[in-house]
Amino acid sequence: MTDTSQTNRPRRGVLLDRDGTLIDFVRDAELGVITTAFHPSQLRLLPGVATGLRLLGAHGFVLAIATNQPGAAKGHFPREAIARTNDALVALLRTEGVDIAAVAVCLHHPEGAPGGDPALIAPCPCRKPKPGLLRDLLDQLDLDPAASFMVGDTPSDVEAGRAAGMRTALLFDQARCELCPLRAAEAEPDRISSAGGADRSGGDPGRSATSHPCAPHVARARFDEIARAVVEAMG
């Protein structure tokens, strides 16, 4: 007899923010500047990332990265540096036993900055918190939004995931006070339904069970804790 329990399951995935979620920011102590990584040598995986990603992959989640990278639009560094760094991150994760199925990047910025690429300075449908980047990945990878999670470290990640009809998880840095209301508004665990199930928030996977407009379904301090919560929630 053929086991149809897996073949009938919706194709599910986890879409991942990059900076502050998978890798650390670059801190220049002498200049007092914090930037995103723009060179492979600057890549530093955050605690629990490799372990958590391996856990998600072992439970059948397709993994992809969705990241805003406006550095070229602001004149900070060329778009080639962004592509090179993303390629290096995918390669680094591969050495950790993690397969990234796709990387989607928004290079735009609505205002830009002096020296920025004019072609990238404009409003767009892909820059989070808009859901365009996520919807493109969902379509590209044939993922069921209701069976998938968006994981990030900012309210814009949560908002984008909700707008795309996904469940959301917030990597909660306790040093960032602006995230405290989101942590407090985390949806109760029993309100996160498994794929195909119904929850008490009305069955809308993109809507939190709380009143906060950007409340995530899951909020944890480390990525591996988020991964375990996602696996537990989705079964």
Q: Residue 175 sits in a domain of what CATH number?
A: 3.40.50.1000
Separation of alpha carbons 185 and 208, rounded Å: 9
Higher-confidence position of 143 and 35: 143
Per cent of the chain over pLDDT 70 is 74
Write down the pLDDT at residue 229. Answer: 97
> With contact defined as beta carbons under 8 Å apart, do 106 and 127 qualify?
yes
pLDDT of residue 194: 34
- Give the model confidence (pLDDT) of 180-189 as tens digits: 444 444 544 3
Per-residue pLDDT, 9: 65
Give the residue from 230, 62, 229, 172 showing the smallest Cα distance to 214: 172
Return phi, psi of residue 37, to 5°: -65, 135
CA gap 221, 52 in Å, rounded: 13
- Looking at the domain assignment, is residue 4 inside a domain? no
Q: Residue 227 pLDDT > 60, yes or no? A: yes
Does this model's pTM top 0.85? My answer is: no
Catalytic residue (choose from 3, 17, 24, 139)? 17
Q: Which residues pair with 149 in a beta bridge?
A: 14, 167
Is 109 a domain residue?
yes
1 is a domain residue: no
Instruction: Tell me if residue 17 is catalytic.
Output: yes
When pLDDT is averaged across residues 135-160 and rounded to a whole number, the result is: 97
What is the domain range of residue 169?
13-234
**164-165-167 Cα angle (round to 5):** 110
Kindly tell me if the per-residue pLDDT of 70 is higher than 60.
yes
Q: Is position 190 annotated as part of the catalytic site?
A: no
- On whether residue 176 sits in a domain, the answer given is yes
Burial class, 187, CB count within 10 angstroms (exposed 0-12 / middle 13-18 / buried 19+): buried
223-234 and 49-58 helices cross at what angle (nearest 10)? 20
> What is the number of structural domains in the chain?
1
3 within a domain of the structure (yes/no): no
User: Which listed residue (19, 153, 157, 199) is catalytic?
Assistant: 19
In a domain, 122, yes or no: yes
For residues 7 and 142, the answer to whether their CB atoms sit within 8 Å is no
- Alpha-carbon distance of 174 to 155, in angstroms, equals 14
Question: Does a structural domain hold residue 8?
Answer: no
d(CA 48, CA 224): 5
Specify if 160 maps to a domain: yes
Beta bridge partners of 165: none
Range in 2-11, 19-28, 213-222 the model is least confident about:
2-11
Contact call for residues 168 and 218 (beta carbons, < 8 A) = yes
